[in-house]
Chains A and B, each alone.
Chain A
Amino acid sequence: MTSTFLSDALIYLAAAVIFVPLAKKMGLGSVLGYLIGGMIIGPFFLGFVGQEGKDIMHFAEFGVVMMLFLIGLELEPKTFWRMRRFVLGTGIMQMGMTTVLCFVALLLVGLSWQASLACGLALSMSSTAIVMQTLREKGLMKTESGRTSFAVLLFQDISVIPILALIPLLAVSGAKAASAGHPSFMEGLPGWAQTITLLVAVNSVVLVGHFIFVPFLRFIARIRLRELFTASALLIVIATAYLMMLVGLSPALGTFLAGVVLATSEFRHELESDIEPFKGVLLGLFFIAVGASINFKLIIENPVKVAALVGGIIAIKSLVLYATGKVSRLSFDQNMIFTLGLGQVGEFAFVLFAFITQLQIISAESSDIMMGATAITMTMTPLLLLMNERLILPRFGTKEAPEKKEADEISFKHSVIIAGFGYFGSTIGRFLRANGFEATILDNDSDRVDLLRKMGFTVFYGDATRLDILKSAGADSAKILIAAIDSPETNLDLAERTKKAFPNMKVMVRARNNMDAYNLLDMGIEDIYRESIDTSVRFGVDVLIKLGVRKYTATRAGQLFIKYDEASFRQLAQHRHDQEAYLVNIREQIALQEQLLENDRKAIPNIHDFAWDMDAEMKNTPDMKNNTG
C-alpha cells in the first residue's frame, strides 16, 4: 500500500518535473507540459499508470476544489456585485447558446432529449483550471479577454449548482444514482427533495462560514502556530468538501462558497498563501491525470466518431464564444484569445458526466467517449492558443512588429526597449519621451498596442520573453531594457533571458517588493526599482509636513531614508542565504520585515543630525565658528 503510494507519487512528480520545464522551454506553457507528461506515463505509451489513473483523477480533482476555494477567496462579494451584469450577460449567452446548439446536434445524432440536454449542459462548461493558469502565465489576466474569460468561467462555475440540482429531474423515472462508494444522503430522494436539499446545503455553507469558520480561525490565529493555521485552512477546505460529498453535492462548489464567505474576513490573504502551494501541486496532478486518462484505444477504435465529436464540440463552443466576444465588444485579437481559450470542455464536465451516468441518463460507453473527447479538447486548448499566437494573430490581428516605413528603418532602432506598458512602464515611457528619448515598446495587450501605435509609438506586440520578438524589437543594438511588466515572475524570466542572450543591454527591472528584488539581486541584476519605496516615502514626507515638520527637513529625511533603505536592503540580501529552511514565501517576508524594523530601530537616520547645528560646541567657544542656530 505504502510502496504503491510512493511509487505513484514518484511517477507523477517525475512526470511533472521533467515535462513541465521542457514544455516551458519550448514556449508551450505548463498546462500542456502536464498533459503531455500524463499521456506519456499513461497506459497507452509507457504504461506506468494504468486504470488507476481514474482514481488518481478523483484524488487530483481536489486541486480543482482548492482552486475554486481560492477563486472564491479572491472574489469579494462587493467585487462580484459590481461585475454581476457582465457575468450574467456573457455567462447566460455563452452557456445558453452552447447548450442549445449541443442539444440539437446530439438530438440529431440520435440521443434521447434528456441525454442531449444533460450532455449539452455538461459540454457548455469550460475549464477554469486550464484557462486561468494559461492566462496568468501569459500575463493576459488584466486584458479585456482575461476579464471576459473570468466572467464567463465564474458564471459556469456557479451554475454547476443549479445544474446538479436539475439533472436528477431529467432521470428516467425509477432510475436512481447508483452508489458510487459512499452512500450519500441525497440518494433515494425524489427529484424535488434533492433540489431542496441542495438549497439548504448552500445556505448552511454560508452560515457556517460566517458564524463558525471565522471565529474558529480567530481562535487558531491567537495560538500563533503557523503550521496549525495551515492545517486549519486545509481542514476548512476538506471539511466543506467532505460534507458536500456526504450530501451528494459538488465539493468544488461548497468550497467556492466557503471561499466567498471568507473573502471578507481578515484571514483572506493568509488563507490564500497557505492553500496556494497545495492547489498548485494538486492542479498539476489533475492535469497529468487528465492526460493519462485519455483513452487512445477508444480513439483508434472510433477515430471518426471521436474526431467528429471533438471537432464538433470545439466548433460549436468557439462559434458561440466568438459571438459572445463580439457582443462584449472585444477586438479581434482579444476575441480570438477568448474564443480559443475557452473552447475546451471543462473539469466540471467530468463530474457532470459521472453524475449523468449514475442516473442512467446515458450509457457508460457514451460517457467514456464523452469524457475522452473532453480530455482531448483540454489538450487542444494550449495548442490552439499557441497556433493563434504564432500563426493567426500575426497575420490577421494586431501585427507583432509595427508597420515598417522604408525611411523609418533606422529610427526604428531605439536605444531603449520598454517591456510592459501598463501604469508603471507607461510613466517611464512618457518621461523618456518628454525628454526627447523614444523607446521601443513591447506589450502583450493587443488593445493597448493598437492604441499606442495610433499615438505614434513603436510597439511590438507579443510575449516579451520570446527572444525572437526581442530581437526584432532591436535588442541587438539597444542599450537598455526596462522590464516593467506587471507580473514579477515574468520580469524575472525576462531579465534572466536577456542577460544571457543580449549581454549588450543593461537590464533595469521593476520589482514589486523586497522579495522580488532579492531574487533579482541573486541573479546579478544591479538596477532594481522596488515600486512602493519612493511613493511610500514621499507619502511619509507629506505626513511629516502635515504634522508640522518643516518641508525641507522632511524632504531631507525622506531622501536619507531612501538611501538608508536601499543600503539595508542590499545588506539584508547578503545575509538572506545564511538562514535556512525558509519555505513559505509570506513567512520569509514577515521575518525580513522584522529584521528590517529591528535594524531601523538601531540605525535609522533621522533629522537629528548635526548639519547646520553647532549649538553644542558654539556655546562654549562662540567665536570659533560662524554657524548660527
Chain B
Amino acid sequence: MKKLLILFSHPRFEKSRANRALIEDIDKIEGVNCHDLYEEYPDFNINVEREKELLGNHQIIVWHFPFYTYSAPALLKQWMDVVLEYGWAHGSKGNALKGKIAFVALTAGGTRESYAANQHNQFTLREFLRPFEQAANLCKMIYLPPFAVHGTHILTDQQLTAYADSYRRLLIKLTTGEYDPVSVSGFEYLNDWLSNKG
C-alpha cells in the first residue's frame, strides 16, 4: 500500500468541467491525498517546510494541472522552484525524494493527434513534458508517463465520466497493485498502460 499525493494546480478550478470530474471525491480513495495548491497558497507564498513534510509522507507524487500554453500554471512552477531544493531534493546529498514515483496528470484542449510533428502543436506531449521528466530524474525519482485527458472541449459528459473512472482506477492501481515501474515507463501514456490489461 503506497500513499499518493496529488499536487493539484488550477487557477480557475471553479470554471473547470474536466478537472471537476477528475478531482471530485478523489480524496475518498484510500491512500490518496489531494493537495489543492491554488487554494492553499493564493498569495504564492508557499510554505516550503510543510510541502517537504508532505512529500516525505507519500511515495507517489502527481503533478495534476490543466495544460495552459504548453506548460503548467505558474504556481506549480513556483512550487518546483522553491520546494525541490538543492541539498534536499537533488545534489549529492539531496536524497529526500529518491525512489519515489512521479508523473503528470493533465487536461488539454487539443486532441492527442494534434500533439505530433507536422500537426497543429508540432511536438508530442511527452516532449512538452521534458522539464518534469528531467526534474524527476534530477531528484532521483522514477518518472512515469503522463495521464492525459485530451480534447476537453469536445468531450461529452459520458466520455468525461469514463476518463474520471479511469483516473480513479489508475490511482487505485498505483497505490495498491503490484507493478514494475520500469515496464510501465515503456508506455507513451499511463492511459495506455491502463487499457493494456497489464
Contacts and interface: CB of A to CB of B under 8 A. Distances in A.
B109 A627 contact: yes
Contact of B110 (A553, A611, A612, A622): A622
Nearest to A549: B14
B14 A628 contact: no
A173 interface: no
Interface stretch (A202-210, A273-281, A613-621): A613-621
A552 B11 contact: yes
Nearest to B119: A623
A64 B159 CA distance: 82
B43 A555 contact: yes
Contact of B111 (A549, A623, A625): A623
A613 B12 contact: yes
Contacts of B153: 615, 618-619, 622, 628-629
Nearest to B111: A623
Given A618-B153, A626-B67, A626-B68, A553 B18 contact: no
B43 A623 contact: no
B70 interface: yes
What secondary structure prevails in chain B residues at the interface with A?
loop
Given A627-B69, A628-B109, A629-B17, A622 B42 contact: no
Contacts of A626: 67-70, 108-110, 121
A500 B67 CA distance: 56
A613 B108 contact: no
Contacts of A627: 66-69, 109
A554 interface: yes
Contacts of B120: 623-624
A624 B14 CA distance: 23
A622 B177 CA distance: 36
Q: Which of A549, A556, A624, A628: most chain B Cβ within 10 A?
A: A628
A628 B66 contact: yes
Interface in B1-46: 11-18, 38-40, 42-43
Contact of A552 (B38, B109, B152): B38
Interface in A578-629: 611-615, 618-619, 622-629
Contacts of A612: 11-12, 15, 66, 68, 73
Q: Which of A551, A611, A613: most chain B Cβ within 10 A?
A: A551
B191 interface: no
Q: Which of B16, B42, B69, B70: most chain A Cβ within 10 A?
A: B42
Q: How many residues of B sit at the interface, in one of the four size bands?
A: 20 to 34
A575 interface: no
Contacts of B13: 550
B16 A622 contact: no
Contacts of A552: 11, 38-39, 42, 75
Interface string B61-99: 000001111100101000000000000000000000000
A613 B12 CA distance: 8
Contacts of B75: 552
Contacts of A553: 11-12, 14
B154 interface: yes
A628 B38 contact: no
Contact of B109 (A550, A551, A611, A625): A625
A626 to B, nearest CB: 5
Contacts of B17: 629
A558 to B, nearest CB: 9
A614 B109 contact: yes
Contacts of A622: 109-111, 151, 153-154
A628 B39 contact: no
B16 A628 contact: yes
B107 interface: yes
B42 A555 contact: yes
B9 to A, nearest CB: 10
Nearest to A614: B109
B42 A628 contact: no
A505 to B, nearest CB: 32
B38 A551 contact: yes
Nearest to B115: A626
Given A554-B42, A614-B109, A623-B111, A628 B18 contact: yes
A628 B12 contact: no
A629 B160 CA distance: 13
Contacts of A628: 16, 18, 66-68, 107-109, 152-153
A627 B110 CA distance: 8
Interface string A526-560: 00000000000000000000000111111110000
Question: Top 10 closest A-B pairs, CB basis?
Answer: A551-B42, A555-B42, A552-B38, A552-B42, A618-B153, A628-B152, A628-B66, A628-B109, A612-B12, A628-B107
Given A614-B109, A629-B15, A629-B152, 4 more contacts: A550-B14, A612-B11, A626-B68, A628-B66
Interface of B: 11-18, 38-40, 42-43, 66-70, 73, 75, 107-111, 114, 120-121, 151-154
5 contacts: A552-B11, A613-B15, A622-B154, A626-B67, A628-B68
